[in-house]
Structure 1
Amino acid sequence: MDPLSYLFSLEHFGIKFGLENITAIVERLGRPDRTFKSVHVAGTNGKGSVTAMVDAALRAAGHRTARYTSPHLTDLSERFVIGGRPVAHDTLVCAAATVRDVVESLRFDGTLGVQPTFFEVTTAVAFELFRRAEGIIKAGVPIVVGPVDPESLSVIARVANERGATLIRATPADAAPFTLGLHGDHQRANAGVAVRLLEQLTARGVGVPSDAVARGLANPEWPGRLDQRRLPDGRELLLDAAHNPAGAAALASYLTAESQRRPLVFAAMRDKDIDGMFRILLPAIGAAVMTRASNPRSADPGMLADSARTIAPALPIAIEPSSTDALAAAWRMSPRIVVAGSIFLLGDVMQQLGLHSY
């Protein structure tokens, strides 16, 4: 089995909590994760946007960066970005082959009692790819926290205190002096986190002058997030990876500000809070076309339509078996449409239309 096919064969192993597998793999690889310094960006929403802005600002300041995110839109290489560009196919294949061979040897000698997951192995691939990337972050980076609910903040503050970490609050006002390249009011909060994080890096010897911060926030590369695309024939589509109520709220806020309500092409995974998304998103659109993504976890379009009709009985709703048919149906309603609900749906649509993610 070729290395990339091997990676994708692990997807059906799902999610496994614990660090035993990844620790064994990186130990056998020679601890590539210790050859560079890292910043971890965590949270339900906004992780990718913050990461993209920080990455762009660091590169604008002349630093070499590597970025690992998931999932991808159209190509696995999008998860592994070095110097602002996805890694080359051959480079990715080579790293994947190295990790595959290590996993197989660990399985053979009994060190790994269970098969590692897709995420565990792709994380090891990222470490292997990035071991040559220049380190950019000094040790002891504090915790920068954006707007969170009081209960979450209390937990974060307690853990930070227990571990002797400095807690720094970031607000949308921290990004007020800057023009943002990512659309949506919610990006102001994400940018505030990026600004405070970059301030901390500068204080610790990683020079990021204000003009580099400005360029980074104005020109991040993060496709599929309020991502407006125009086709050669003039038709338009807004691609957004909203896949939970918080993401739906950000998208709905953006759509509500427009003068005309767009038709929505929608698909979602079965395990998502679909009703929660619909309650927020459906009032902001003019019609909906329910479909499925090319992922086995994709919800049945008929079920989506039933849920939507319960929540918005007056909204025109159609059902199409494929994203290709759904796009055609939506464009018959309007030359300007929106596609949302699942990053897998966005990937399908971008491949069908020949749209590039980078």
Structure 2
Amino acid sequence: MNYVEALNYINDKNKFGSRLGLDVMEKLLELLGNPHLDMKYIHVAGTNGKGSTSAYMAAILKEAGYRVGVFTSPYLERFNERISINGEDISNERLAVITERVKEKIETMVKEGYEHPTTFEIVTTIAFVYFSEEDVDYTILEVGLGGREDSTNIIENSYASVITTIDFDHTDVLGDTLGKIAYEKAGIIKENGLVISYPQEKEAFEVIEKIALEKKAKLIRCPMENVEIINLNQEGGIFNFKYKEYNFKNIKIELLGQHQIYNATLALMTMLILRDKGLIYLTNEQIKEGLEKTKWAGRLEVLKKNPTFLIDGAHNLQGAKTLAESIKNFRYNKLILGIAILKDKDVDHIVETIVPLADEIVITEVNMPRKMEAEKLEEIIKKHNNNTYIERDIKKAIDKSFDLASEEDLIVFGGSLYLIGDVRKILLKNN
């Protein structure tokens, strides 16, 4: 099996859809010798901020000299991004070799009467095998969907369960209240474990507290009230943070937006607590250096200047609100918005949050079955803004946005992570 064959095999299994539950994962990993056991995990769940919080923690640990495996999703430009060690994506060759081995075990289990693993179960398994073979020091494991029955939750123990912001998303699967969603996210909490949570809405935090109590886990709420923002602009942010006897001054980050200061704080807190428990060894300077060096593509990322070209996923309501708030940190004359949204998202609320900010709007489509057709999206957008153009082809949508913009303007593409992955690939290729 070569790389292309491996990707085709993995993507073909999308036909099995998604599945919550761990029985299939348990059998597949057993056949592979249980590579997920005996690794040191930091498990990350939440609605938004999982990826950047994971990136911050990975950068800090790398700065301290550790080898850190990171499993994340989705990818922006290239599948291999989902499985990396110290910022280096899994190679094509290793992905192909491990996929072939996993495929053989899947054929065995299906013959024994087990259900066929889904794409996400297969990819999670490949990550476990890779990190185990590479003998990483720590694995940062990002939940795919929910937490309780997500395939990453096959792990028995973790150094920490980190819960980022909880909001409404995937309500058809996770539930239609913050409490129900929090119940699924808090499913990653382990018996006698450690939980570090972003300050949540009362309804969500009460659920996390209840589950932590039931599992005799220690719950620590990250004290965001101890964050002092010194500077926040289109180049990044500077902030201070106090926790117990620790007093961090002038922490710099390059990721944009106020929310990234809070995500960085959650990562910082997690590192401090694990250090206090004697589970990791690093200095305050390594923490600060790691935070400053953190990169996270596609989230409030400036790809070009004159005009400023900004991309951001903004694929759910909380993400759209964050984008709307972050745009205030930019200086511009006119805002041109490029937008595409998946039809199973909270389209109306995403649109009403970001569309009124734009002077002109270029509507496009992502290249996948779940896309919302441009004409249907335009109907919703026109309730808030009539200055619309349709360019179904993403490259043409980018070109149109530049046609509409002068050097002092701001171009923003968002509404879907799949959209910004393609936009990023196109724009960086042409630069």
TM-score by length of 2: 0.78
1:87 CA drift (Å)? 1.3
From 81, 84, 87, the equivalent of 2:84 is: 81
**Cα distance in structure 2, aligned partners of 1:334 and 1:12:** 41
Q: Are the aligned partners of 2:339 and 2:413 in contact in 1 as well (CA < 8 Å)?
A: yes
Q: Are the aligned partners of 1:288 and 1:318 in contact in 2 as well (CA < 8 Å)?
A: yes
**Cα distance in structure 2, aligned partners of 1:237 and 1:91:** 35
1:109 aligns with 2:112: yes
Identity %: 30
Q: Are the aligned partners of 1:291 and 1:320 in contact in 2 as well (CA < 8 Å)?
A: yes
RMSD value over aligned CA atoms? 1.9
Q: Are the aligned partners of 1:183 and 1:226 in contact in 2 as well (CA < 8 Å)?
A: yes
The letter for the 2-side match of 1:145 is S
1:36 CA drift (Å)? 1.2
The letter for the 1-side match of 2:70 is R
| 1:1-358 matches, cutoff 5 A | 2-110=5-113, 112=114, 114-131=115-132, 132-136=134-138, 141=160, 142-172=194-224, 173-174=226-227, 176=240, 177=249, 178-205=251-278, 206-230=280-304, 236-260=308-332, 261-310=334-383, 312-313=384-385, 315-335=386-406, 336-355=410-429
Query: How has the CA–CA distance of structure 1 residues 346 and 327 changed in structure 2, closer, same or farther, with 3 Å as cutoff?
Result: same
**Cα distance in structure 1, aligned partners of 2:137 and 2:330:** 43
* Structure with bigger RCO (C-alpha 8 Å, 6+ apart): 1
- Secondary structure class of the residue paired with 1:10: helix
Q: Are the aligned partners of 1:171 and 1:189 in contact in 2 as well (CA < 8 Å)?
A: no
The letter for the 2-side match of 1:155 is V
- Secondary structure class of the residue paired with 2:36: helix
Structure 2: runs of 5 or more not aligned: 140-156, 161-193, 228-238, 241-248
**Cα distance in structure 2, aligned partners of 1:7 and 1:116:** 10
Residues 232-277 of structure 1: per-residue CA shift (max 9 Å, x gap): xx55421111100111111111113333232111111110001111
Structure 1: runs of 5 or more not aligned: none
Residues 21-54 of structure 1: per-residue CA shift (max 9 Å, x gap): 1111111111111131111111000000100000
The letter for the 1-side match of 2:314 is A
Instruction: Give the structure with the higher percent strand.
Output: 2
43-52 vs 129-138, greater mean Cα deviation: 129-138
Give the ranges of 4+ consecutive aligned residues of structure 1 lying more than 4 Å apart after TM superposition: 137-140
- Secondary structure class of the residue paired with 1:74: coil
1:98 CA drift (Å)? 1.4
**Cα distance in structure 1, aligned partners of 2:217 and 2:329:** 40
- Secondary structure class of the residue paired with 1:100: helix
